[in-house]
Amino acid sequence: MTQQTPDQYRVFGNPIEHSRSPEIHHIFASKNQQNINYQKQLVDIDDFSNAITDFIDQDGKGVNVTVPFKEQALAIADELTDRASLAGAVNTLSFKDGKIFGDNTDGEGLVQDLITNKVTLKHSRILLLGAGGAARGVLLPLLAQNPSSIVIANRTVSKADTLCLHFSDSRLSASSYQNLEQQSFNVIINATSASLSGSLPPLPTSIISQHVVCYDMVYGKDDTPFLKWVKEHGAIKVIDGLGMLVGQAAVSFYVWRGVTPEVQPVIDKLRASLK
């Protein structure tokens, strides 16, 4: 019996060296009898669209897109899902029937990870920190879980206002960090890039209690500055973004292969490798 050539997938980014996506997708594939080959590719900043064309010419089936190409991936797509078009960014491209399909699985990855961690989103009051691409990317899937409200807090409040206008949903409102003082939340999600630079947004300590779930989209070997800080102020349930990383990959895998892979063994494996 001849072995069939595996279907080809890539992740495009710059930088890309530290991407865990090939490892994650190869585990999904081997556990689900899917014959795929998934490689990371460093793409020159000005070369994204050529890299896509070349890969399609090589019969590539799909590409994950990471920093800084998610907006270019949106622009290059012939068709977009609602969640990609509202996110203003694409992290999953599929090549089929001569067309490029763009999707964004980041928000669904976050929601799935919150559900896995038994976090109640329905009727809950959510505080979303940050109003950049990461925040915008998760708003539609979060709203789809029927929270009672989502407050978007940002250093530059006008950016949070713009996001509210863009999504035009009565459950959304914008706030400064300072004005959070008198409010209480069930879930706080850090979608700022502050953790990446070792800092954290200037939050009032009054919003932290043992009942609030705190989530940071960033992950690392140790707690992020945000998760450290909320623990110091009494939070008990804290979650980092490793599950979101694996979750968005699982949704991409589903988009491409029509199979939902199990995420927990992959999360456990990556967690162990961080130690």
Task: List the catalytic residues.
Answer: 70
Maximum CA extent, the chain: 69
- Lay out the site mask for ligand ATR across 21-60 (x = CB under 6 A, - = otherwise): ----------------------------------------
Instruction: Select 130 or 241, whichever has its Cβ closest to ligand ATR.
Output: 130
Query: Closest distance between ligand ATR and the C-beta of residue 47, in Å?
Result: 21
Query: Closest distance between ligand ATR and the C-beta of residue 193, in Å?
Result: 4
**Residue 177 phi, psi (nearest 5):** -65, -40
The single-letter code of the amino acid at 144 is A
Tell me which of 159, 171, 228, 237 binds ligand ATR, using CB under 6 A: 159
Interacting residues with ligand ATR between 195 and 234 (CB under 6 A): 199, 201
Report how far apart, in Å, the C-alpha atoms of 167 and of each of 82, 140, 143, 173 are: 12, 8, 10, 10
Q: Are 105 and 252 in contact (CB under 8 A)?
A: yes
Instruction: Select 6 or 202, whichever has its Cβ closest to ligand ATR.
Output: 202
Tell me which of 26, 125, 155, 271 binds ligand ATR, using CB under 6 A: 155
Among all residues, whose Cβ is closest to ligand ATR?
132
**Residue 220 phi, psi (nearest 5):** -170, -175
Q: Are 11 and 51 in contact (CB under 8 A)?
A: no
Instruction: Select 38 or 48, whichever has its Cβ closest to ligand ATR.
Output: 48
Token pair for 94 = 């599929």
Output DSSP code: residue 206.
Answer: G
Query: Closest distance between ligand ATR and the C-beta of residue 45, in Å?
Result: 16
Q: Are 40 and 10 in contact (CB under 8 A)?
A: yes
Interacting residues with ligand ATR between 246 and 265 (CB under 6 A): none
Q: Which residue's structure tokens are 């456990």?
A: 268
From CA 39, how far away is CA 2, in angstroms rounded?
Answer: 23
From CA 107, how far away is CA 110, in angstroms rounded?
Answer: 5
Interacting residues with ligand ATR between 167 and 196 (CB under 6 A): 192-194
Instruction: Select 177 or 254, whichever has its Cβ closest to ligand ATR.
Output: 177
**Of the candidates 216, 4, 248, the residue with the CA atom closest to the CA atom of residue 104:** 248
Contact between 156 and ligand ATR by CB under 6 A: the answer reads: yes
Tell me which of 34, 64, 154, 224 binds ligand ATR, using CB under 6 A: 154
Instruction: Select 155 or 233, whichever has its Cβ closest to ligand ATR.
Output: 155
Query: Closest distance between ligand ATR and the C-beta of residue 269, in Å?
Result: 26
Which residues of the shown chain bind ligand ATR in the complex (CB under 6 A)?
A: 130-135, 154-156, 159, 192-194, 199, 201
